[in-house]
Each structure stands twice: as structure tokens, then as C-alpha cells.
Amino acid sequence: MVFSSITFLFYFLPIVLAVYYIVPKKAKNFVLLISSFLFYYFGEPKYVLLMAFSIILTYIFGRLIAKYQKAEYAKLFLILAIICSVGLLVYFKYANFLIENINLWLSHKIDFIYVALPIGISFYTFQMLSYLIDVYKEEAKVQKNIFKLAMYVSLFPQLIAGPIVRYTTIEEQIENRTHTMEKFALGVRRFIIGLSKKVLIANILGELVSTFVASNEMSVLYYWLYAISAMLQIYFDFSGYSDMAIGLGKMFGFEFLENFNYPYIAKSITDFWRRWHISLSSWFRDYVYIPLGGNRTSKIKWLRNIMIVWLLTGLWHGAAWNFVIWGLFFGILLILEKLFLGKQLEKKQLGKLPKVLSHIYVLLLVMISFIIFNGESTAQILQNIGGLVGIGGVPLVSNESLYYLKSYFVVLLIGVVGATPLLKNFVNLPKMKKISNFLEPIYLLSLLLICTSYIVDGSFNPFLYFRF
């Protein structure tokens, strides 16, 4: 089940909200637990038991780590817990990728494992790992109630696509959280905005991306349309889903941390990753990069630490070489910035060059990164990057590319403007605030109705991060 579906919007969510607010405070977590397992069951019925098994293991190891906190056994239990959690993730997500690459060197081929990827396993595995590590480091209290731990792990607003909510973020909220009309209204507002980003921008641009992939009439203009559309699609798809998750959290009294902060206005790649998928980049920083030594070590080890983190970041996104290359691509760029360009980009703006050039530098590299991200093969990736500058003898324009430019121009323009804080800053101007507050219920209801009509129409409605 996805948030942008009629089943969720008009059946599942209203029923859960009604029951949640009817029952007494002590039963609210139980309602969320049951509804979260039902939500997951609708999407992955055969893997509900896998998630439940993972939660039970996490609960047992958490209790053991806390019990032997002052003894050497705590570290042993943590290591065993990490092996179990990561082992399940590797088996379901990476086993066939490993077999495929091992088979390249073997005369007797290993058979592939026919197993589907459980939805959201990367997200809930990282949440359980952060909980166990924080308990070990005594930064979080062990949860002695298995049902409350299960509710945290399975909480449906962030279960299948994040953001990665750490236990320390909502530890107090599990026991005590406030429910107000203001918070609920803000949650509804945030959810509708996220739904609109997903349905009215990401899905429509996704149609253009799919059309390009299926086309044989290429041109430089068409390659640029594809690259820009893919770049905007994945941003609005994932940030829209994060907005919906944060909005749903507010409806149930939770405060999740932000996951995106206008990454396309970044002035360096380092700044970009402070703004993009914040919950993931901060997770790798705190649980991988810093434990490896971070930058408080020799330069060689420091560079090694960066490349390990970005190799893992790439692999986290998918079991394919394009994701590995994508991660290493960012690792190399970050190293170059830290060694040579960082201060100039973030402080001096490359000397006397206009500030806008640093933004163009970031956007071009990020655009290339998403061509890599979307690539099915190395040949296709190189062709799509080369096509931006006419390599391969493609014409500058074609009738097909002009047609799609005209057809999608308005959506592309809305996407470009929406990826910046321009509209937000305009609405928050003192003269505009009263008008926007008055009109807000009208345009939010209008957006919901338009989104519903698109969904009912059966339009293109994939969710990119399901594969992660």
C-alpha cells in the first residue's frame, strides 16, 4: 500500500485516525502497532513475519546489551545483533548481486536465490541498528516493553520509505506525546503538500522519463529534458514521501526530523549532502564514519573512511553496480572538495566568480549523478551523459524533443521553482501572510481533489524508493 492510493487515503487512514482518537491514551500505541502491521501486510503479506522476527531479535539483544552493560558481554551481544540484522539485509537484498558477480569468476555457476526484496527492509534495519548501538553507548534507555519497541520499528508513516527515525528522536514521544488541533492541522497540510509533490510533479515527470527511455529519436535537447526531469522526479518523489511521513507523524502526535532542506540550492556537494536525505547521511556519519575515526586520524585513513561511507551509501540504495558507482562518484567529489575546493566553494565562492556559478557546478554534477543512478548499464550511462554534449552525432533538437518540451514545460517550470524556497519566502512575506492564511484551506482542498482525480484516473504512480 502506498500513501498516494485511494485505499490508503479514503479507507485505511480515516479508519485508523478515527479509532486512534476514540481509544484512551493507554491504547493509542497498540492501535498504531496493529495498524502498522496491517499496513505492511497489505504490501508484503509474506514478509510480516520477517519484520516481526527482526523486532524480536532486536528486543532480545537490546535487553541483553543493557543487562551486561558493564561487562564485556555487551559488546559481544551488539556484534551478534549487527551480524543478524545485516545478515538478513544482505540475504534478501544483496545475495543475487553477490552470486552474479562471483559467477563471473567460476566455471561452475551458483544458482540464484529466488526471493523478493521486502519493502522497507533497508529503513527498518537501520532503525533497529541505531537503537541497539545507542543502547550500547548508553545514549538511549533499553525498551523493556516489546510492543512499544515493535510500534517504533513498524510505525507505518515512516516504515517503507523513511525518514530513518532514530529511537532517541521519539523515545519520550512513545510514552508521552501531545495531540492538538494545531498539530493535526499542520500534519494534514504537510501531508497534502507531500502528496501533491508526488502525484502532480514526480509522477508526471516520471512519465517523461519513461517516454525518453522507450524512444529511439534522440537529440541533445531530449537528453537534457531527460536529465533534468529525472533529477526533479527523484527529488519530488522522495521529498514528497518524506513530507507525507512527517505530516502523518504530526497527526499521531509525533515530531519526526526533517529529511530534505532544498538540496538543489546547495553551493557545494558537501552542502548538498547536508540537505539531501538528511536522516541517511547523518546515520552513516554517526554510526560508520565517526566510529571509523572520521577526520581525526591520518589523511590516508580519513580518505579511506570517506570512501567506505560512500561505497556503503551507494550499496544501501540498491544491489547494482550503478548504485556503487553513484556512491563512489559522490565520495570522490567530496574528497576533492575537502582537499582542494571546499573553502573556495563555501566561503569565497571560487574567488571573484559570481555566486551562481557554484550552484551551477553543484547542479551539473548532481544531474550527472542521477543519470548514473537511473542507468541500467555502463553503456547506457555513458550514452546519456555523452548525449548532453552531442556525442554520438545526435542532432541538437528533434520534433519529438520539441513536442515534449512544449508538453511538459509548465510542470518542469513548477518543479524548478518548487525545488527552491522562492515560493515559501514569497508566501511568508508580511503582506502575503494574511492572504495566504485565508486562502490556505481552499488551495489545500483543491490540491487534494486534483491529486485524487489523478489517482482515480489510474495515472503513472510508481514509488522509486520501494526498490531500496
Active centre residues (catalytic):
317
Burial of 182 (0-12, 13-18, 19+ CB in 10 A): exposed
167 contacts 152 by C-beta, under 8 angstroms? yes
How would you write the chain as a 3-class SS string? Answer: CCCCCHHHHHHHHHHHHHHHHHCCHHHHHHHHHHHHHHHHHHHCHHHHHHHHHHHHHHHHHHHHHHHCCCCCHHHHHHHHHHHHHHHHHHHHHHHHHHHHHHHCCCCCCCCCCCCCCCCCHHHHHHHHHHHHHHHHCCCCCCCCCHHHHHHHHHCHHHHCCCCCCCHHHHHHHHHCCCCCHHHHHHHHHHHHHHHHHHHHHHHHHHHHHHHHHHCCCCCHHHHHHHHHHHHHHHHHHHHHHHHHHHHHHHHCCCCCCCCCCCHHHCCCHHHHHHHCCHHHHHHHHHHHHCCCCCCCCCHHHHHHHHHHHHHHHHHHHCCCHHHHHHHHHHHHHHHHHHHHHHHHHHHHCCCCCCHHHHHHHHHHHHHHHHHHHHCCCHHHHHHHHHHCCCCCCCCCCCHHHHHHHHHHHHHHHHHHHHCCCHHHHHHCCHHHHHHHHHHHHHHHHHHHHHHHHHHHCCCCCCCHHHHC
Query: Taking a C-beta distance cutoff of 8 angstroms, is the pair 12, 1 a contact?
Result: yes
Crossing angle of helices 220-251 and 399-418, in 10° steps, is 30
CA distance between the termini of the chain: 16
Grid cell for residue 298 = 591520518
